[in-house]
Structure 1
Amino acid sequence: MTKPIIAILGAGLGGAVAAFEIKAAVGSRAEVMVVSRGDTFHFVPSNPWVAIGWRRRDAIEVALAPVMARKKIGFTPVGARRVHPSENRLELEDGESLFYDYLVVATGPELAFDEIEGLGPDGFTQSICHVDHAEKAAEAFETFARNPGPIVVGAVQGASCYGPAYEFAMILDTELRRRKIRDRVPMTFVTAEPYVGHLGLDGVGDTKGLLEAEMRDRHIKFITNARVAKVTDGMMSVEEVAEDGAVRATHDLPFAYSMMLPAFRGVSAVAGIEGLTNPRGFVLADSHQRNPTYRNVFSLGVCVAIPPVGKTAVPVGVPKTGFMIESMVTAIAENLRQMLDGQEPTHEATWNAICLADFGDGGVAFIAQPQIPPRNLNWAAEGGWVHLAKVGFEKYFIGKIKRGASAPFYEKLALDLIGARKLKA
C-alpha cells in the first residue's frame, strides 16, 4: 500500500525544523518530502554579522541533502514554480510535478524591493534578509569604510521585521568605533513604526525606553512614522507621516551607505490563489495552522497571514519570530499525526515571541507571551550577556540542524540562555 506523502515547501528556519519534527511525529507511516530552492540552510539571524564581516558565510550554512538523507526525508533543491492545491500538486521549477496528500507551506517571504523606487541590492540600498545580500552588504561596507560618510538604516513601510534593523544599526556603530571612524559617520534610523521599539508588536516590556536610550547614547538620530518615497544614488527621500495620515515633514537624507529592510509579500508559487492566500500573497490559516479552503494544506512562519497589532499612520506588519514558528511547527506535526489516525486536528500554536538583538558590545532581549498583547509575560532587558547568549544560540541552533534534530530550540533559548534568574530580576 502506498504511503501518504507529506510535502514541505521551503527549507529555511521553519521548513527545515518542520521536516525533522514531522518525520519524528509520523515515523514510517508517511513519506516526508522537502522541496527547497537551493540545497543549503543558512541561519538568518546571523546575517547582520555576515554583513559587517564578523561571520563568514560557510560558518552559518548547512548542506541539507546529507542531513535529510540520514533522517530518511526526501529532498529536492529545484524549487516550486506553483502550488496547485485543487490537484494536490506541486509544479516544480524543472517542469516535473510532485503530488502530495498533505502540504506544509514554509516558504518564507518574497522581498518587495520593487515597491519603492531604488530600494534593495539591485538599487542603492543593502539588505540582510538573505546571506547573498549580506555578503554583498559586507563588500559595500568595506568600500564605504575607506571613504566614510552618512549612513541610513531602518525598515520601510509595510515591513514586518524590525529587530534586525535595530541590530544592524547598533552593530555598525560598534564596528565604526572599533575602526575609529565613527566621528566621520552621521547615522539616521528610519522606520515605519509609530515609535522606536514598537517592533510590530506595540512594544515588549520597555523596548521603547531601552532602544531610544541606545539611539541617544550612540548618537543615532531617528525618524518614526516614516514612509520612504524613493531612493536614488546617495539620497533617500522620506515622508514623515502624522497620525491622521497627512505628511508632517519631508526629509532628503544623503547617505554613503544604507541598509533598509523591505516589506514582505507571499512568494509567487502561492500568491493569487483564491482561498489559499490573502491579497498580499500570505497563506490563510486557522487556529490549527490549516487552510480554511484546502484542508490538507498547512502553513507556518513568515508566509502565514497575520493581521497587524493595531492601526498605525504608516503600515507596520507583525513579525513571525523563531519562538512563534517553532510553536507552529509542533502544532502542525501533532495535527498531521492526528489526521493520519483519521482524527480532526486539535493542536494550536502558542505564538510566543523571543528575540536577542545583538549590538556587538551589548544588546537587548525580550520575551512576549503571547506575541500579541495583552500578554501574560511582557519582559525586556539589556546587557553584554545578550551578545554572549546570541553567540551561544547560533552555535546551538546550527549544530541541531546539522544533526537533523527537532525542536525545542527557542524554548530552550528562553529557559537556558536568558535564564530564569535574569527573567525574575
Structure 2
Amino acid sequence: MRTIISTFLLLFAFSSLFGQDTGQNFVTSDIDNFWTAYDKIRSTNDSTLQYQYLNKLFIEKGSPGLKAIMEAREYTSKSYVDAINHYPLFWNSIRTNTLKAKGFAGEIELEVNKIKNIYLGLKPAKIYFTVGALMTNGTTLDGKVLIGSELALTDKNTNTSEFPKNISHLRRFFDTEPIKGVVFLNIHEYVHTQQKTTIGNTLLAQSVLEGAAEFVAVTATGKQSETPAIAYGKQHFDRVREVFSKQMFNLFTGFWLYSSAENEFKNRDLGYYVGYDICEKYYQNAKDKKQAIKEIIELDYNNNAELYKFADKSGYFALPLKKLKKQFDNSRPTVLGISQFKNQDKTVDPAITQLTIQFSAKMDKRFRNFKLGPLGETNVLLIKKFVGFSEDGKSVTFEIELKPNQHYQLIVDDKFRDESGVSLKPYLIDIVTANN
C-alpha cells in the first residue's frame, strides 16, 4: 500500500509540472529513427541513397527537438552522413547506451520537480533526447532541452580510434562516463530554459549564465557538479580570478568556454567555474535564499548595470566591476597605423598590393578577423591572402587588391587580441584610391 501511495504522489508531482501526459514532455523518438537510418546508410556506398535514407528516415521524421538542435549547432545532412561514414566504430560502441534514454525519464522528471522547491516560478519545458553530429551533449533553444545523445550517453568504453585531432579531446570527456551524469545534465539545461537568454554578449555574461544553471542544478538536487573545471577553479582561485578579470569584458569567450584551446591552466571550461563561484557567493551572502535563486535565474545577463551590480554583491572580484572595466578599456591594444599609407588618405596608390597593420602590443598570432565597414560589401577592401605576423607579433601583413578611384573600408575587428587575451579596439580603415 505504501508503494502505491508513494507512486501516486510521485506521478502527481510530475503531472503538476509537466502536464498530465509526461510522455509528451520527454521525447526519444529521434534515437530510434536515427538507428533505422543509420543501418540503411551503412548498407550502401551510394552517396545519393545515403542522403535519401537520412532525410526520409531521420530528418523528415524528426521531432521539434531534432530541428532545434540542428539549428542550434548548424547541423546539415552532410554533417550526419560524414559522421556516420567516418566513425562507424564510434557509432557501434554507443548504440546500446543511446537506447537506454527512455529509462532516464522518471529520474529526470523527479529531479526537475525539485527545482520548484527553490524556484516557484518554474515553467514547464520539453526534454528531447535526440542525436547530433558530435558538437554538443546538451543545449537549449526556444525553451526546449536538447540532449545530443551521441555524446551525453557515452562512457569509457566508447570507441574513439577513428577520431581526427580536432575532436580528439572527446576521449577525455568520454572517460568521465557522461552517461552517469546525464540526469544532472538535464537539470542544468532545464534551468537554461528558465533564463532570459542563453547567449551572453561578453565573456562575463556567458560565464555567469552558465554558472547560474550549474549552481541552481546543484542547489536543487543536492548533487555535486561533475564539471572538472569547478573543482580546479576553487583550488586555483587567485590566479583564475586574476586572468579572468583581465579578459571578462571581451566579446568572445576564448578558451574559457566550449573550447579545448591551449591555456596556462591546461583546463577547459573554466568560465563555468567563475560563473558558478559568483552565483554561489551571491547566494551565500543573501539572507533570503529563495529570493536569491530567483534573482540568479531571472538576472538580465546582457544588462551590464544589472550584471555588474550582481557580480559586485557576490564579492567574487577584488575590485568593483566599473573599475575593472576601466582597467580593461585602458589595457586594450590598438592599431597604430598602416605601413603602406595613412588612414583616411584620399589619394592612395592603387598599385599597392600589401597591407601591413601595426599594433601597440604583441598580438596572439593565432587570431585575426575583419568586418565590413559602414559602407558595406560594395566598398570592402579585399583581402586576398594572409602573409603573416611579424616575428615580434606587433604587425601583420596581408595581400590586398585595389582599383583606381575607389572608396574602400575595412574594420580590423576585436577578435584580434594581444598575448594576454585582451581584445583589440576595433579600427576602421577608410581610404580612397587615386586615379591612374
> TM-score normalised to the size of structure 1?
0.23
Higher relative contact order structure (alpha carbons within 8 Å, sequence separation ≥ 6): 1
More strand as a share of residues:
1
- Structure of higher CA gyration radius: 2
More helix as a share of residues:
2
